[in-house]
Structure 1
């Protein structure tokens, strides 16, 4: 007969003797499940506990191909108890579908060995010929581009449900370094969202909201126009170059009214509150997404 008292901390021993084991609830319930498989009620309790583990959703800024991928592949970050039901989202300029060289393909292959699922939106430094050439499938309630077994592109205007949270993705931005780039070689006109992509995002969002849906967060590469003044110190030369993408994002904000918004592009980490929304500019800092679940 299982003696549950053995799992409790002894009163006559030093607390450190079993603190490590007692603190690990998952280990305790695994132990219970192994010992009492023939007792359905207790086994169900153990499985219910394990199934309630909250998935982890992390967000980070630009990785620029393999140049800054270490932010989400270093040993310290990977030391967490990740599974493929945990997610890391790169907020544009992912950059590993850019030149399609053997080295780039090798890096993407190595990403397939990551313990979590890697998601990304597009930024301005992407090869859109490659991105739009990816196979698509329905995942998380919307269409994604499939870049690998655990690698997915979150497409513009789609609404995704991940761990009970609803995210609207809308990537893209204007490249301020176009003067040093060549069209369709290392920058593409598709970096700026089209009117049809904006129309799709707005109509998709309107349908979602009319059905009672609520957007928990918007994921973009740049930010809405009204936020530009709060970011002015980050602009090269002290002034912003007009980017039609920011006007599109302002229209999305007016309809979505999210409580949180995550973006990259400006190579800094900052939190800005505006119009009842927390805007998170992400770059080096890896943020964990928290929201109040119903």
Structure 2
């Protein structure tokens, strides 16, 4: 088994892009990757932000990264996607991720030609907008998984990580895998359905993960909060501090409409990107 390797590290990013694409769960789906990344390139976007369950998995991560690099490269006259910044999810090889992050604590790590993984609490700037990445979530099926092989406790944040991120200052865009507060009807419905399918212990575990993320939402007061994990496309607005509002965008999974949005950083709006829609060549 070949582990991921750190090719480059950086303490932050300051990118000039005025728009980015944000994607929900991909689960290492090769067919979807081959559809999604060319669609991002056709949209003229150079930077993609991924919200986790990317597909890092024991024995499969390097194969995934080679595929992503291939589809992100220049093709058929399109310049390709320069970088993919991944906020890790829960269904990832956290053993490998922990090792890579430990080599350069607090830094973002490039693990392939175009893919970077972001540690919890990582802050950066794109188009003069501030971003915060806070990855991970609870695997509600953890009891059926093998600790250290198909499940790692480090998939959810620690209290210290949440407190540090929450106290790091306000942010324009918050990127998480799990949701914090749940204003969207479809996400609420999904959580309620899952609670009836699993044990009380699993439900408490998932609730605790959401609580930690919510503390980060409350502390950083984002204008836009994007997350995946629940595999539904949802959009809602909720008050945070007084009259200040957060726009919560929940993204669907691979193979579903609503898996990707274009985030316009000038007007701070999210528009669904349909990978099935072909743009005629000029």
Q: TM-score, normalised by structure 1?
A: 0.68
RMSD in angstroms over aligned alpha carbons? 2.7
In 2: Cα distance, 1:238 partner to 1:177 partner:
10
Instruction: Give the SS at the match of 1:133.
Output: helix
Segments of 5+ residues of structure 2 without an aligned counterpart are 1-15, 73-79, 197-202, 240-244, 268-282
Q: Does 1:91 align with 2:51?
A: yes
Contact 2:228 2:251 survives alignment (8 Å): yes
CA distance in 2, matches of 1:187, 1:54: 36
Check conservation: 1:216, 1:291, Cα contact below 8 A: no
What is the aligned partner in structure 2 of residue 112 from structure 1? 69
Shift of 1:65: 1.4
Q: Judging changes above 3 Å, is the alpha-carbon distance between structure 1 residues 92 and 157 closer, same or farther for their aligned structure 2 residues?
A: same
Pair 230,110 (structure 1): closer, same or farther in 2 beyond 3 Å: closer
* Paired residues for 1:264-275 under 5 Å: 264-275=228-239
**Structure 1 residue 61 and structure 2 residue 35: aligned?**
no
| Counterpart among 95, 120, 128 of residue 156 in structure 1 | 120
- 70 and 272 in structure 1: CA distance in 2 versus 1, 3 angstrom threshold: farther
Contact 1:226 1:250 in 2 (8 A): no
Q: Distance in 2 between matches of 1:247 and 1:185?
A: 26
Match of 1:180 in 2: 144
Partner of 2:99: 133
- CA change 1:228–1:193 in 2 (3 A) is farther
Q: CA deviation at 1:88?
A: 0.8
1:215 to 149, 153, 171: 171
| Contact persistence 1:159–1:167 (CA under 8 A) | yes
Contact 2:24/2:251 (<8 A) preserved: yes
* Structure 1 counterpart of 2:90: 124
Residue-by-residue CA offset, 1:94-147 (whole Å, 9 max, x unaligned):
12x21134xx42331232341211111111101111112226669xxx721221
Cross-structure match for 2:279: none
Provide, for residues 48-67 of structure 1, a one-character-per-residue CA deviation record: whole Å limited to 9, x for no partner. Answer: xxxxx854310010011135
Q: How many residue pairs are counted as aligned between the two chains? A: 224
Partner Cα separation in structure 1 for residue 166 and residue 230 of structure 2 = 25
Q: Name 2:210's counterpart in structure 1.
A: 246
Could you say which residue in structure 2 is the equivalent of 1:5? none
TM-score, normalised on structure 2?
0.71
- Higher share of residues assigned helix: 1
- Hey, what's the Cα distance between the residues in 2 that align with 1:273 and 1:55? 23
Q: For 1:225 and 1:260, locate their aligned partners in 2 and report how far apart those are by CA, in whole Å.
A: 13
CA contact (8 A) 2:19 2:264 kept: no
CA distance in 2, matches of 1:229, 1:245: 19
**2:139 aligns to what SS in structure 1?**
coil
Paired residue for 1:100?
A: 59
Instruction: Please say if 1:144 is aligned against 2:98.
Output: no
* Alpha-carbon distance, 1:230 to partner: 6.0
Partner Cα separation in structure 2 for residue 156 and residue 58 of structure 1: 20
Looking at CA atoms only, which structure, 1 or 2, has the larger radius of gyration? 1
